[in-house]
Amino acid sequence: MRSLRKRLVVTFTIVAVTASAMVAGIGYQLVRGELLHRAESSAIEDVRDVLDRMTLPIGTSDLLWPNDASVTDDDLAGLVESLSGPDRQVVLEYGQEPARTSNNATLGPGDIPDQLRADARHRLSYQTLVLDGEPTLLVGTDVERLTGTGATRSTGMSVYVFVSMRNEERVLANLRYALLQAGLLTLVIALTLALLSARQVLLPVRRLGAAARALGAGELDTRLPVHGRDELAELTATFNETAAALEQTVSELRGLEAMSRRFVADVSHELRTPLTTMIAVTDMLSEEAEKLPDDAGQAVHLVVKEIVRLRVLVEHLIEVSRFDSGAAVLNRESVDVGDALADCLEVRGWSDQVKLTVPPGLIYSLDPRRFDVIMANLAGNALSHGAPPVLVSARVLPSGLEVMVRDHGEGIPRQALPHVFDRFFKAGVTRTRSEGSGLGLSIAKANAELHRGTITVKLCDPGTQFTLWVPRP
């Protein structure tokens, strides 16, 4: 959400600032071009006007001027003065006479570019220069007059006028500063509008996100109000429809799941009584099996084995139904872990097959019955499907109790590791008809989670290791 908001704000701001910069840049170029054009036109017109009004008898004898007149230094100085001004400096060149400049002039013939001097011989020319760090317009021309035959001939006089563009540059500087201020103001306005627009756009998205999280948390009655007819309104309506369909589907699935749990629990409990009777009968039959014919004896042993397996399956199903119904309760008490593990192995006749390593006096808060179920399933799994030696060790870490069960068999297939705690899962074809119910590890994991702990499995070389971790209460 933050990333989307950032992208919206950045995009909106970039577009607004880019558009503002383009408008400001184009406006500045237009104003600058017009301002400089007016300054150039004004300077050129002034030079032309002064030269057109000039009455000095300059040129050759065939020019339309009095032949008996002569041009004095004062005349040339007056012409220079008439072309000069507060922001103008003049360089006047006439024949072989030394170049004349304005009073207190800082610029002279050496500041005139050769190219402009060459162009000025043919036409009035001008060029913008930077002289002494100041932008300057240089206007240059040769003075020409008509001869008696009507032809145009140069008089030998060249005039160059340096016009300071200081005032125009100051106007342009003020304009740039004003445009910069306008740009900063535009940026602030763009950011404000972008934030408001992003909030306006993302508010429905944020509500949808919150509603989706609530839906994921199990609040299936979550709905959102639909405002307007835009795409977000359509998305909100679609969300409401999806949530309604999901609520109906989940309600149906929950009903089916509850029925399934009740069925499993009821069937398991109903099977307990006939199983008890069958076990009592088979115990009697097993005592007489040796006296029966071979086929009958084998049949009795097979029936006894399958009834025992069925009893284990029913007990496991009853235990699973308790977890599914939420009826499983944890009753903690201080337990000597070493004694509890030894009793678990001894009751099941595994003491000689399992090597137990536990520090003496290791006391921990556990539910002894559920801890016994966990360890019986882990050790029984190692004995049934692993290979000796089977090692069981326990220790207390700062984070909690750790119990490890390790066998040295071929190990669980690597692709089966993610599924070893699934109900009714049996790794490998050879285990499909094993005595186990396929629920032992699932029940062990459920009991560990009831302790707020975990059971993990990993492959060793050789064998498999299961690790039970129970945090401190």
pTM for the model stands at 0.45
Task: Select the CATH number that applies to the domain covering 232-325 from these four: 2.60.120.10, 1.10.287.130, 3.30.1330.10, 1.10.274.50.
Answer: 1.10.287.130
Residue from 140, 26, 40 nearest 91 by CA:
140
Cβ(43)–Cβ(228) under 8 Å? Answer: no
Residue from 236, 237, 319 nearest 272 by CA:
319
- Could you please report the per-residue DSSP string of 2-56? HHHHHHHHHHHHHHHHHHHHHHHHHHHHHHHHHHHHHHHHHHHHHHHHHHHT---
3-state secondary structure of 99: coil
Residue 364: the pLDDT is: 92
Task: Select the CATH number that applies to the domain covering 333-471 from these four: 3.30.565.10, 3.40.50.970, 3.40.50.880, 3.40.30.10.
Answer: 3.30.565.10
Cβ(335)–Cβ(366) under 8 Å? Answer: yes
HSE, side-chain direction, 13 A CA sphere, residue 421: 17
pLDDT (tens, 9 = 90+) of the chain, 473 residues, equals 556 677 777 887 888 888 888 888 888 889 888 888 888 888 888 888 887 777 666 554 444 444 445 667 777 788 888 888 888 888 888 877 778 888 888 888 888 888 988 888 888 888 888 888 888 888 888 887 766 666 677 777 888 888 888 888 888 888 888 888 888 888 888 888 877 877 777 777 778 888 888 888 878 788 888 877 777 788 888 888 888 888 888 888 777 777 766 766 666 666 666 767 777 777 776 766 666 677 777 777 777 777 777 777 767 666 666 666 666 778 889 999 999 999 999 988 898 898 999 998 899 999 898 899 899 889 988 888 888 889 999 998 888 999 999 998 888 888 888 888 887 776 654 544 455 567 778 888 888 888 889 999 998 888 899 999 999 88
Parse the chain into domains and list their residue ranges. 1-53+167-213, 56-164, 232-325, 333-471
Residue 392: the pLDDT is: 92
HSE, side-chain direction, 13 A CA sphere, residue 166: 10
Q: Which residues pair with 135 in a beta bridge?
A: 130
Cβ(275)–Cβ(313) under 8 Å? Answer: no
**Other C-beta atoms lying within 10 Å of the C-beta of residue 465:** 16
Cβ(123)–Cβ(138) under 8 Å? Answer: no
CATH topology of domain 56-164: Beta-Lactamase (3.30.450)
Gap between the Cα atoms of 394 and 17, Å rounded: 68
Residue 292: the pLDDT is: 67
Residue 33: the pLDDT is: 85
Per DSSP, the chain holds a count of helices (H) and strands (E) of: 9, 12
Residue 59: the pLDDT is: 54
Q: Which residue has the tokens 């001008």?
A: 126
Residue 57, Ramachandran bin (φ over 0: left; ψ between -120 and 50: alpha; else beta): beta
Output the average pLDDT for the chain: 80
Residue 429: the pLDDT is: 47
